[in-house]
Amino acid sequence: MLIRPQNSATAAQLAGRLAQLRGLLAAAAARAGRSVDGVTLLAVSKGHAAEDVAALAALGQRAFGESYLQEALPKMDALADLSLEWHYIGRLQANKTRPLAERFHWVHALDRLRIAERLSQQRPFHAPPLNVCVQVKPGDDPAKGGLAPAEAEQLALQVARLPRLALRGCMCMLPDGLTAAQQLQQFGQVAALQARLVAGGLPLDTLSMGMSGDFGAAIAAGSTLVRIGTALFGPRPDATHDPNA
């Protein structure tokens, strides 16, 4: 089934926000002396309808992020004709890896070897390797997922050996309420870990960092993929769709 945007006012609003966001990403890249071509926009569609995803797809947006399987799978089915690239950015549970391995192109928040092993085992042979990132926690916020940099480094080395996964790099999510300088410092720690892993021989090309509230600092620190929901779709209708909830 091909879903069309039902409401052209919403579609026009989304087009306006996408254009504005592209401008902000380009400006952030320019301030960092980087080309915006090196920053992929992942549109975080959790909490938003398939129609809104279709409206953005019609404007050329290809990559979408979801955090909840029961919400994501029907949306992916409804939009199957559009051949979009789906990223799972939510928390991982060992008993729910199969649909991730079978249906998604990327999984961003790996933090346990056991889950990585299951994803590798369950990735269908006809599909290319599943792209994954290891989640790093640069600060010490107990509410945020991810591994301390030294542990993340160990996990990355183990994940890189799994046959049906393609380790692409590190991912992180910062707590709210940091100053721009703190954001830059924490993103910088993740970028430094990524640089160590690359120097050690891992072919990593993706730093998944930056959300609506901190993508400027993330791009300054070297992010190659920003995960943006609110600044693109507007506020999520349902408060249970908070990051990492």
Ligand X SMILES: *Cc1c(COP(=O)(O)O)cnc(C)c1O
Report the distance separating Cα 63 and Cα 10, nearest Å. 20
Site string for ligand X, 17-46 (x = CB under 6 A): ---------------------------x-x
**Counting contacts by CB under 6 A, is residue 212 touching ligand X?**
yes
Judged by beta carbon, residue 28 or residue 211, the one nearer ligand X is 211
H/E segment holding residue 44: strand 40-44
H/E segment holding residue 98: helix 98-103
Beta strands of 50-172 (E only): which ranges? Answer: 63-66, 85-88, 106-110, 130-135, 165-171
**Counting contacts by CB under 6 A, is residue 211 touching ligand X?**
yes
Place of tokens 């290809």: 62
Residue 173, Cβ density class (10 Å: 0-12 exposed, 13-18 middle, ≥19 buried): buried
CA dihedral 209, 210, 211, 214 (to 10 degrees): 150
In the complex, what is the shortest distance from the CB of residue 169 to ligand X, in angstroms, rounded to a whole number? 15
Q: Which of 156, 147, 164, 225 is CA-nearest to residue 197?
A: 156
* Binding piece for ligand X, criterion CB under 6 A, among 8-16, 95-103, 192-200, 210-218: 210-218
Residues in the chain: 245
Judged by beta carbon, residue 178 or residue 228, the one nearer ligand X is 228
Judged by beta carbon, residue 157 or residue 241, the one nearer ligand X is 241
Identity of the amino acid at 16: G
Among 79, 173, 174, 209, binds ligand X (CB under 6 A): 173
**Counting contacts by CB under 6 A, is residue 244 touching ligand X?**
yes
Contact present, 152 and 194 (Cβ < 8 Å): no
In the complex, what is the shortest distance from the CB of residue 146 to ligand X, in angstroms, rounded to a whole number? 10
Applying the rule CB under 6 A, the residues between 95 and 154 that interact with ligand X are: none
Among 45, 67, 183, 223, binds ligand X (CB under 6 A): 67
In the complex, what is the shortest distance from the CB of residue 227 to ligand X, in angstroms, rounded to a whole number? 4
* Binding piece for ligand X, criterion CB under 6 A, among 12-20, 55-63, 78-86, 205-213: 205-213
Q: Report the interface residues with ligand X, using CB under 6 A.
A: 44, 46, 67, 89, 173, 211-213, 227-231, 243-244
